[in-house]
Structure 1
Amino acid sequence: MPFVKTTWRNSISFKVLLAYVAGVGLSILLIALGAFALITSRSDILLTTDVAERTHELAGKLLFDAAGRPTGFDDSEGDRVWTFKSLGEEIGYRVLDSQANVALASTDQAFWSPVAKAAPSEQGHFKFEREGIPMYAATAPVEHNGATWYLQFAVSERLMELLHQGFAWPFMGAGIVLFSLVLLFVFGACAYFTLGYALKPLREVSESAATISPRSLHSRLESKNVPWEVAPLVRSFNSALERLEQGYRVQQEFLATAAHELKTPLALIRAQIELMAPDKGRDSLLDDVAHMTRQVQQLLLLAETSEAHNYSFAVVDVGEVAQQAAAYLQRMADAACVGIVVAGPADTQTPWQADRSALFTLLKNLLENAIQHAPAGTQVRVEFTTSRLTVRDWGPGVGQAQLPQIFTRFWRGAHRRDHGAGLGLTICQEIARAHGWTLVAQREEPGLSFCLSRHHAGPG
């Protein structure tokens, strides 16, 4: 089955982080544009708002004497009083009663002379010019002992712009830069690790799905800890596994049942043919029946080896099983004038964790295949260690293009002597997979070798 090639562009983490970076960049751009607009607009609203806030702040700190007249501000404002003395041309305040009489002021009356003599209660936010300099001012009422006083605060436009552009805005720009860096890196790192934690269940589900094979179709993906957005996909996958397992079981049962049901009719046909008078037709029919019987037996064996519950694992001596398989096929090898050599560690057992009968079938099929392809007068050599077994012949072998097909069902080599069903090597592969072993075919010069590798991680 071809797999779709994945790239980092298809990563969910990459797309989310890309969206995060784009959102951060757009936010920073909007903040910078807004700040730049405020700096360059010289908005009356901004200046008026600042003056009004400062006026109400001063009004809240106004102090009175025993007679109820304003005398100054509390100590917390003492460190700022010097600004009214030092910058008397640019900034000032005064306190008026309800008749607009001055009770307290930081400057002389000339500072406020351009202001119309209107009732203080009617002067909330106002603007005037003093010696051609625009001034922004505001009034804040103060209640004390039943009397109402009005604090007026004024500051020049050029001083406000100096403070904003020379001090406030540079600090604001540095703040924007610092905020941007924190947002990008600190929150970016948090987003990265959060994504890793959030996607961890998906990686675990993916790893679990990768381990499912025809021998573990009973397994299901765990949907308990996966994100709820992905849970329907996991449940759908589990449902598909249930249907697949059911179909696989039905197929295996049909294969085993069909093979078993065919054995009896073939035995009856063979018995009837053997009762016929000897002639060429009789021998040909017996050969056909023998071929069909072998196919049925191998189909039944293939169905059995495909089911994990048919195996009983124990510690067996692979050298002993190899000797038994060689002895079982000795008559076949003698008839083909092919020698069988079994070589392994001397006087030492080679224990493997395996199903003994299945291991015997695997070795028997490999040896039988080698004998069928080995030229007369040559050898079939079996070599084994505690972790590896090799069966090699010195026959014509197979071409490089045919090598990937060698374990395919019903595929047969062109140089074998009998008319086998083409299932022997498929059965070997099924047995190897059930044990967690690796069985591969390799071209030799000349001949072909089958290498069975034992791993520590599987049943064997």
Structure 2
Amino acid sequence: MRFRIEKQLNSISVKTLLAFFISMVLSISLIVFVLDAVYFFKNSIFSETDVNDFAKNFAQEILYNKEGIPEKMGLELEYPWLFESLVQEAAYRVIDQSGKVVLYSAAGAAFWSSVDIVHPVTTGYFKFEHDGVLMDAATAKAENDGQSWFVQLAVSRRFMFFSHDTFGFRFVRSGVIIFSLVLLLVFFFCAHFIVRHTLKPLRKLSESAALISPKFLQARLENDNLPTEIAPLVISFNHTLERLEHGYRTQQEFLSTAAHELKTPLTLIRTQLELMEETEERNWLLNDANYMSRQVQQLLLLAETSEFNNYNFIVVDIRYVVDEAIYYLQRMAESEKVNFVVKDYSNGSQWRADRGALFTLLKNLLENSIQHAPADTSILIVIYSNKIQVRDWGVALTKASYHSYLLVFGAEITGEILEQD
């Protein structure tokens, strides 16, 4: 269980999704922390900023009469009750370039009694007290027909805190929660899609790498549409495959060349030995030459069969191939005074195989049996629908032992010594 969890945590997709999730949680936590800190310390930053921004927008809503003199604010058309209901909490006035007030809100001039008009009028934030209540105020400038007008807007800080505490922060909290849930869902699905799309070339790359084997050393990994971080690794891996293929080809060429070069001298040595007078030393040398010739032949066969393209798979009548191998080795069997016994239980089964390679395998098995079988014994060849079994009674640990060689369709050749009861 622990290994499975560690394996999942080591996944690129899991790590990426986890990074997305952690970053989202940290971002949302930071927003909530800032809001809670402002709410806890009752900071006036929001109040000052809100009033200053509101004054700038409010100044653009001045409604002028035919003479170009301000007569009302556009916000009062939409909310006519606003400044009448909040005469103790909010007020405004409009001042011309000379410092004269041309328009008051419902609170009137008394609301601004503690604020002197400084000429020339400057824009920006300021604060004052009205009836013992702290006011946040701001001055904003408006232009109309070449004339400049200054709008001063004031809102009590207690009203701003009440609005923020009762409505603003509550709505913000609800908005943050809803926003967080939506953001997490959207980011999760988007990140999941992006990760799957990004890692798709890696999955294809893994499937391609699984197909590489000694029979397909010419295969290479595709580096198209790969992430830039992975591409150098794939290029290096392909270069490694090229070096391996070159070394493998060189080895196979050397194997084939060496076998061909040894074949002719061994044939000449064996011929010369056969022409010599038969002695015990001559027979030993002849047996050694025969053994070396057989090994050279095996090297040639190994060099040929190592190339998968050398195979030509067709439907083969297995009994016909067995009879062909027996006929080929009949003279050798007679010289060793052994005979072949064939039992066919295949019911005419056919194999799909390379005929030449299958013949070579059977020939090698029968040659090995002939060498181990005592004189005046039989070599048993049993043919099944999916395997061929070759048995000879050679010298082993017990007198009742025999050598058994099994050729299974679709598997490798296996040789073992079995004991009879």
Give the TM-score band, short-chain normalised: 0.7 to 0.9
Q: Determine which of 391, 399, 402 is the counterpart of 2:389.
A: 391
Residue correspondence of structure 1 range 13-24 to structure 2 within 5 A:
13-24=13-24
Residue correspondence of structure 1 range 286-301 to structure 2 within 5 A:
286-301=286-301
Equivalents in 1 of 2:228, 2:208: separation in Å?
A: 18
The answer on 1:93 being equivalent to 2:92 is: yes
Classify 1:390/1:170 alpha carbon distance in 2 versus 1 (closer, same or farther; 3 Å). farther
- Counterpart of 1:411 in structure 2 is none
| Aligned residue identity for 1:286 | L
- Counterpart of 1:252 in structure 2 is 252
Classify 1:101/1:265 alpha carbon distance in 2 versus 1 (closer, same or farther; 3 Å). closer
Q: Secondary structure at the match of 1:78?
A: helix
Equivalents in 1 of 2:27, 2:358: separation in Å?
A: 68
Classify 1:342/1:374 alpha carbon distance in 2 versus 1 (closer, same or farther; 3 Å). farther
Equivalents in 1 of 2:23, 2:56: separation in Å?
A: 38
| Aligned residue identity for 1:321 | V
How far the C-alpha of 1:147 sits from its partner, in A, is: 4.7
- Counterpart of 2:382 in structure 1 is 381
Equivalents in 2 of 1:156, 1:111: separation in Å?
A: 12
Residue correspondence of structure 1 range 261-272 to structure 2 within 5 A:
261-272=261-272
How far the C-alpha of 1:350 sits from its partner, in A, is: 2.2
How far the C-alpha of 1:187 sits from its partner, in A, is: 1.9
How far the C-alpha of 1:55 sits from its partner, in A, is: 1.8
Q: CA RMSD in A?
A: 3.6
Q: Secondary structure at the match of 1:221?
A: coil
Q: Secondary structure at the match of 1:92?
A: strand
Equivalents in 2 of 1:83, 1:394: separation in Å?
A: 114
How far the C-alpha of 1:14 sits from its partner, in A, is: 2.4
Q: Tell whether the 8 Å contact from 1:62 to 1:70 is kept in structure 2 after alignment.
A: yes
Residue by residue over 1:269-328, the C-alpha shift from the partner in whole angstroms, topping out at 9 and shown as x without a partner, is 222222333222222222222211211111111111112343333333334324433555
| Aligned residue identity for 1:277 | E
Q: Tell whether the 8 Å contact from 2:93 to 2:101 is kept in structure 1 after alignment.
A: no
How far the C-alpha of 1:383 sits from its partner, in A, is: 0.6
Q: Tell whether the 8 Å contact from 1:95 to 1:152 is kept in structure 2 after alignment.
A: yes
Q: Tell whether the 8 Å contact from 1:63 to 1:72 is kept in structure 2 after alignment.
A: yes
Structure 1 stretch displaced more, 140-149 or 224-233? 140-149
Residue by residue over 1:228-282, the C-alpha shift from the partner in whole angstroms, topping out at 9 and shown as x without a partner, is 3333222222222222112111111111121222222222222222233322222
How far the C-alpha of 1:99 sits from its partner, in A, is: 3.8
Equivalents in 2 of 1:183, 1:295: separation in Å?
A: 73
Classify 1:194/1:276 alpha carbon distance in 2 versus 1 (closer, same or farther; 3 Å). same
Equivalents in 2 of 1:89, 1:277: separation in Å?
A: 139
Q: Tell whether the 8 Å contact from 1:63 to 1:70 is kept in structure 2 after alignment.
A: yes
**Aligned residues with identical type, % of pairs:** 45
| Aligned residue identity for 2:344 | V
Equivalents in 1 of 2:132, 2:365: separation in Å?
A: 110
Equivalents in 2 of 1:47, 1:259: separation in Å?
A: 96
Residue correspondence of structure 1 range 315-330 to structure 2 within 5 A:
315-326=315-326, 328=328
Equivalents in 1 of 2:289, 2:52: separation in Å?
A: 111
Q: Determine which of 343, 346, 361 is the counterpart of 1:344.
A: 346
Equivalents in 2 of 1:117, 1:441: separation in Å?
A: 110
Classify 1:395/1:121 alpha carbon distance in 2 versus 1 (closer, same or farther; 3 Å). farther
Q: Secondary structure at the match of 1:197?
A: helix
How far the C-alpha of 1:165 sits from its partner, in A, is: 1.6
Q: Tell whether the 8 Å contact from 1:61 to 1:77 is kept in structure 2 after alignment.
A: no
Equivalents in 2 of 1:440, 1:198: separation in Å?
A: 45
| Aligned residue identity for 1:113 | S
Q: Secondary structure at the match of 1:115?
A: coil
Equivalents in 1 of 2:381, 2:319: separation in Å?
A: 16
Q: Tell whether the 8 Å contact from 1:94 to 1:106 is kept in structure 2 after alignment.
A: no
The answer on 1:357 being equivalent to 2:365 is: no
Q: Tell whether the 8 Å contact from 1:70 to 1:104 is kept in structure 2 after alignment.
A: no
Instruction: Specify every segment of 5 or more residues in structure 2 that has no aligned partner in the other structure, as ranges.
Output: 1-5
Equivalents in 2 of 1:287, 1:370: separation in Å?
A: 16
Residue by residue over 1:61-103, the C-alpha shift from the partner in whole angstroms, topping out at 9 and shown as x without a partner, is 11122344332133x6523231212222212222344344453
- Counterpart of 1:404 in structure 2 is none
How far the C-alpha of 1:392 sits from its partner, in A, is: 6.4
TM-score scaled to structure 2, two decimals?
Answer: 0.82
Instruction: Specify every segment of 5 or more residues in structure 1 that has no aligned partner in the other structure, as ranges.
Output: 1-5, 399-414, 418-423, 448-460
Q: Tell whether the 8 Å contact from 1:373 to 1:416 is kept in structure 2 after alignment.
A: no
- Counterpart of 1:159 in structure 2 is 159
- Counterpart of 1:82 in structure 2 is 81
Classify 1:206/1:416 alpha carbon distance in 2 versus 1 (closer, same or farther; 3 Å). farther
- Counterpart of 1:310 in structure 2 is 310
- Counterpart of 2:184 in structure 1 is 184
Equivalents in 1 of 2:192, 2:392: separation in Å?
A: 59
- Counterpart of 2:210 in structure 1 is 210
Q: Tell whether the 8 Å contact from 2:99 to 2:121 is kept in structure 1 after alignment.
A: no
Q: Tell whether the 8 Å contact from 1:126 to 1:137 is kept in structure 2 after alignment.
A: yes
Q: Tell whether the 8 Å contact from 1:373 to 1:393 is kept in structure 2 after alignment.
A: no
Residue by residue over 1:373-431, the C-alpha shift from the partner in whole angstroms, topping out at 9 and shown as x without a partner, is 899678442212xxx335365989x9xxxxxxxxxxxxxxxx888xxxxxx99xx89xx
Q: Secondary structure at the match of 1:7?
A: helix
| Aligned residue identity for 2:345 | A
Q: Tell whether the 8 Å contact from 2:90 to 2:155 is kept in structure 1 after alignment.
A: yes
Q: Tell whether the 8 Å contact from 1:371 to 1:380 is kept in structure 2 after alignment.
A: no
How far the C-alpha of 1:345 sits from its partner, in A, is: 2.3
How far the C-alpha of 1:357 sits from its partner, in A, is: 1.0
Classify 1:186/1:374 alpha carbon distance in 2 versus 1 (closer, same or farther; 3 Å). farther
| Aligned residue identity for 1:180 | S
Q: Secondary structure at the match of 1:138?
A: strand
Q: Tell whether the 8 Å contact from 1:70 to 1:103 is kept in structure 2 after alignment.
A: yes
Structure 1 stretch displaced more, 310-319 or 371-380? 371-380
Q: Secondary structure at the match of 1:63?
A: strand
How far the C-alpha of 1:138 sits from its partner, in A, is: 1.7
| Aligned residue identity for 1:381 | V
Equivalents in 2 of 1:39, 1:80: separation in Å?
A: 28
| Aligned residue identity for 1:311 | Y
Classify 1:7/1:366 alpha carbon distance in 2 versus 1 (closer, same or farther; 3 Å). farther
Q: Tell whether the 8 Å contact from 1:52 to 1:137 is kept in structure 2 after alignment.
A: yes
- Counterpart of 2:50 in structure 1 is 50
- Counterpart of 1:140 in structure 2 is 140
- The count of corresponding residues between Structure 1 and Structure 2 is 405
Equivalents in 2 of 1:319, 1:271: separation in Å?
A: 35
Equivalents in 2 of 1:439, 1:50: separation in Å?
A: 85
